A and B are shown apart, each in its own frame.
Chain A
C-alpha cells in the first residue's frame, strides 16, 4: 500500500509521484486532496490529487520541494512506501457545463489543474487556459493543457516566457468574457490577483485554498478561513471557495504562523545529516 510506482522530475524542484492506493484511486474526483505522511516522525501535510488511474490503482501527486516534508517526499524512490496516505479529502470541484471556463494554474498547481480542466472539458465546456510560473523552466504541462484548451496562454513573473505577470488576462477577458473561472495556486497573492481580475467582469471564480492543515478531517480547526464573513474549515467545507468572498489577508497571515519553525525543521533535516556524518 502507498508504494511509489512512478517518479518524475517535471521541473527543478517539482516532482511527480504515482502512488499505489487502489481505494483512493477508485474514489477520488478532481479538486480533492490527500494527506501525506512520509515517515514515523512525519507531519501530516496536504497535496491536491493531480490525477488517478483506477485501473492501475494509482493516484498522482505533484509537489514543490519547499520545506522538510516535501523535500523528504522528494527523496522517495520507486518501490518505497509512504508511512501514510489519507484521502480523498475535501469536496470535489463542481463540474457542470458552464459555457466558457477560464482555468488558471500557477506553478505546481498546473498539475492538479490539468486533472480538473479535463473534467470541465468532458462536461462540454470551452476552455481558456492560462498557466504561470516564476520563470520559464518552472512551467509544467504546457503541451497537455494546450491540447485541451480552446485558447491557451503562458505567463512568467520575470517575462522569460509568454506574458509578464497575470495582468494580460484583463485583455483576454475583454475579448472573450468567460462564464466561470477557476484559479489554482499555492501562492495566496496569485490567487487573489486572478480573483481581482475576474471580479469586475462578474465571473464567478472558484479558488482552491491552501491554509495550514493538520488532520484534514474537520476535527482541529487549523485550516479555518474566512469566506463571506463566515469562518469555514477549508478541509471539510472546501478546499474550493468563491474567490470573491475570501479574506486573503487572514489566509496569508495564518499561513505564516510557523515560518520560523519551518526553517528550523528544514535546516535540521539538511544540516543534521551533514553533521552526523562529520562526527562519525
Chain B
C-alpha cells in the first residue's frame, strides 16, 4: 500500500496585498496536476466518513476516485448525481465542519480537500459542457403538472431543477431582477463569481426549460392561493430569510450606517463597485466598523477594504473561539489586514451635525456563564465605555424571515421566530405547499438549503403521481 500522504496540495490564491485591492476571486483553483495529486491521497474508504458529513450525500470517494484516475467526465457525472450546484458548493460550503471534518485522514493529518476538488471538477465541466455529459439530461415526457417555486436561491433552484428533470412544468417567481438568491446578492464576487451563478440559472432556463418570472414580489403581485387556483398543482416556498436585523441602539439611522444586506446588495447585485459605470452608488469611508462575526461580517469587511477603506474593524462582543464565520474566511480576512475588536459591544452610534456617522461608543465585555447556545454569554464590564472614530458602520447581525409570504398565505403556520413550519420533507401545514431553506431553518448554509430543496422535490414528485 502506498504511504499515507498527510499533507494536502495547497490552494493557489491571490496574495493578500494584491487581492485586498480588487474584486476578483481570491482562490484561483487547482491545476489539473494538482487536482489529480490531491485526489490520489484519498483512501477510497469502504465506509467513507466524509459522506456522512455532506448534507446531500455526495458520492465523494466516487468522484474523487474518478478524478484520481484522470477520468473527468466520470467524476463530473458522479458529482452531479447528488449535487446540481457543485461549482457553488465547492467554493462556499463550510467543508471544515461538514464533509472534510469527517474524512478519516483528518485524524492524523489534513483531510482530503473535497471542496477544492469539487470546484475543480465543476469548473472543468462548465468549460467542457459536451465532453462532461452532465448538461444534456434526457428529459422525460411532460407530465402536464405545473409547479410554482417562490424564490430563486439554492433551495428554489435545486427544487426547480429536480422537478423539471421529472417532467413537470416549473416556474420560478423571484422578487429581484436577477435569480440566485444570496448567491447573487449576498456572497461577494471575490468568493463566488456571479458568472457561475448566472451559468447555473441559464442551464435551468435553457436546458431544463424552467421559466423564470423575475421582478415578481409574491404576496404582492400574486399569492399562494392564487397560484393554486391558477392551475399550479404544487408550490415550493424557498424565499429565504432576508430581512435585516439592527442593534436598535441610538444613532443607528445616521447616514453611513448600512445593514449588511444593503451594503452587500449595493455591491454584489447592483455592482456599486463599478459606479458610475453602473448607476447605484455606495459611500464607504476611511474607517469602517462591521458588527458581528459571521460569514456576512467577513464578507462586508473584506468588501470595505477592497473599496479603499484605510482601516476596517470587525467589532464582536465575544472572542475568536465563538465566531461563527468559516475559519478559512476569517483567516483570509486576517491576512488582508482586517482588525478584530473582540469582547467589544457598540452601545451607541455617534454622528456629526449633518447626520453622518463619526464614531461609536462601545463597552468592553467579559465572558460569563454559558447561554442556551452553549456559548459563554458576554456581559458588559461596568464603566468601561469608550469612543472610537468610524465613518461607516455596517451592522451584520444576521437576518430573519420576511413576513410577506406567511402573512399573505392563510393556513401556513409559522414558528415564534417567524420561520415556516415544515416536516423533514418540507411539507407545510398547507395542502399542496412545501418549503425549504432559510425560510424554514433560519439563516443556514447553501448546501442545507439545497438538501431541503431536493427532499421537497422528491415529496412533490410523489404527491403529483
Contacts from A to B (Cβ < 8 Å): 23-24, 27, 35, 37, 41-44, 68-69, 83-89, 214-222, 224, 226, 231, 236, 250, 253-254, 256-258, 261-262, 264-265, 268
Report if B279 contacts A (CB, 8 A).
yes
Q: How far is the CA of A221 from the CA of B394 in the complex (A)?
A: 12
* Given A87-B220, A220-B261, A254-B355; A261-B243 close (CB under 8 Å): no
Interface of B is mostly: loop
Residues A264 and B276 in contact in the complex (CB < 8 Å), given A89-B220, A219-B265, A219-B402: yes
Q: Which listed residue (B214, B253, B281) contacts A224, Cβ 8 A?
A: B253
Task: Determine whether the beta carbon of A220 is less than 8 Å from that of B259.
Answer: yes
CB of A214 within 8 A of CB of B175, answer: no
- B255 and A218 within 8 A (CB): no
- Answer whether residue B278 sits at the interface, using C-beta atoms and an 8 A cutoff: yes
- Asked if A44 and B177 make an inter-chain contact with CB atoms under 8 angstroms apart, the answer reads yes
Docked CA distance A191–B258 (Å):
26
Bound together, the chains give a CA A261 to CA B275 distance in angstroms of: 9
CA distance A216 to B221 in the complex (A): 13
Please indicate the chain A residues that have their CB under 8 angstroms from the CB of B277 in the complex.
41
Find chain B residues with CB under 8 A from A236 CB: 402, 404
Q: Is the CB of A86 within 8 A of B265?
A: no
The 9 closest A-B CB pairs, nearest first, are A261-B281, A253-B355, A220-B262, A86-B215, A43-B279, A219-B242, A221-B259, A84-B177, A43-B280
Cβ-based interface call for B354 (8 A): yes
Instruction: Return chain B residues, CB-CB under 8 Å to A215.
Output: 175-176, 265
Q: Which residues of B contact A89 (CB under 8 A)?
A: 217, 220
Structural contact, B217 and A217, CB atoms closer than 8 A = yes
Which B residues, 218 to 254, have Cβ-Cβ distances below 8 Å to chain A? 220-222, 242-244, 246, 248, 252-253
Q: Does B326 contact A (CB under 8 A)?
A: no
CB of B220 within 8 A of CB of A219, answer no
Q: How large is the interface on B (under 10, 10 to 19, 20 to 34, 35 or more residues)?
A: 35 or more
Contact pattern, B 277-302, Cβ under 8 Å of A = 1, otherwise 0: 11111010000000000000000000
Asked if A253 and B354 make an inter-chain contact with CB atoms under 8 angstroms apart, the answer reads yes
Main secondary structure of the interface of A (DSSP, over half): mixed
Q: Does B271 contact A (CB under 8 A)?
A: yes
B270 on the A face (CB < 8 A): yes
Please tell me if the beta carbons of B243 and A218 are within 8 angstroms of each other in the complex.
yes
Nearest-neighbour CB distance to chain B for A40, whole angstroms, equals: 9
Return the chain B residue nearest A27 by Cβ: B221
Contact yes or no, B270 A27, CB < 8 A: no
Residue in A42, A86, A219 whose beta carbon sits within 8 Å of that of B244 in the complex? A219
Complex alpha-carbon distance, A34 and B258, angstroms: 23
Contact: A253 with B177, CB < 8 Å?
no
Complex: how many Å from CA A226 to CA B246? 14
Distance A12 CA – B255 CA, assembled complex (angstroms): 33
Question: Does the CB pair A86–B270 fall under 8 Å?
Answer: no
Determine which of A27, A85, A268 lies in contact with B222 in the assembled complex, contact meaning CB atoms within 8 Å: A27
> Does B320 reach chain A (CB closer than 8 Å)?
no
* A84 in contact with B221 given A44-B270, A219-B244, A250-B355 (CB within 8 Å): no
Q: Report yes or no: B402 in contact with A261, Cβ–Cβ below 8 A.
A: no
Nearest Cβ on chain A to B236's Cβ, whole angstroms: 19
What's the nearest-Cβ distance from chain A to residue B184, in Å? 13
Question: How far in angstroms is the closest Cβ of chain B from A240?
Answer: 16
Determine if B175 and A221 form an interchain contact, defined as CB atoms under 8 angstroms apart. no
Q: With A214-B266, A231-B253, A253-B355 known to touch, is A84 a contact of B215 (CB < 8 Å)?
A: yes
Assess whether A86 is in contact with B259, with CB atoms less than 8 Å apart.
Answer: no
Q: Report the Cα distance A117→B220, complex, angstroms.
A: 22
Determine if B216 is an interface residue (Cβ-Cβ < 8 Å).
yes
Q: In residues 397-443 of chain B, which contact A (Cβ within 8 Å)?
A: 402, 404
Q: Tell me, in angstroms, the Cα distance from A69 to B277 when the chains sit together.
A: 13
Are B255 and A253 in touch, CB under 8 angstroms?
yes
Which B residue's beta carbon lies closest to that of A90?
B220
User: Across the two chains, which residue of chain B brings its CB closest to A216?
Assistant: B217
Q: Which of A23, A35, A88, A221 has the most CB of B within 10 A?
A: A221
Residues of chain A within 8 A (CB-CB) of B259 are 220-221
CB atoms of B220 and A218 under 8 A apart? no
Q: Are A217 and B402 in contact (CB-based, < 8 A)? A: yes
Does the CB pair B220–A265 fall under 8 Å?
A: no
Residue on B nearest A267 in the bound complex, by CB:
B276
For residue B290, give the distance in angstroms from its CB to the closest CB of chain A. 15
Complex Cα distance, B176 from A89, in Å, reads 12
Q: Give every chain B residue within 8 A of A231 (Cβ-Cβ).
A: 246, 248, 252-253
The residue on B at minimum CB distance from A35 is B215
A48 to B248, CA, bound (A): 30
- Expressed in whole angstroms, the minimum distance between the Cβ of B216 and any Cβ of chain A is 7
- Contact A218 B404, beta carbon cutoff 8 Å: yes
The answer for the CA separation of A256 and B222 in the assembled complex, in Å, is 34
14 A-B pairs with C-beta separation under 8 A: A35-B215, A37-B177, A43-B278, A44-B280, A86-B177, A87-B220, A215-B175, A219-B242, A219-B243, A219-B244, A219-B261, A253-B255, A261-B276, A262-B281
Known: A84-B214, A219-B243, A226-B253. A27 touches B271 (CB 8 A): no
The answer to whether A86 touches B216 (Cβ under 8 A) is yes
7 additional A-B residue pairs with CB within 8 Å, beyond A86-B215, A250-B253: A87-B220, A88-B220, A217-B175, A218-B242, A218-B404, A261-B275, A265-B275
B220 touches A268 (CB 8 A): no
CA distance A224 to B279 in the complex (A): 21
Within the assembled complex, what's the spacing in Å between the Cα atoms of A220 and B263? 8
The verdict on A221 contacting B222 (CB below 8 Å), with A43-B280, A250-B355, A258-B283 known, is: no
A residues near B216, Cβ cutoff 8 Å: 23, 86
8 Å CB contact of A220 from B265, B276, B283? B265
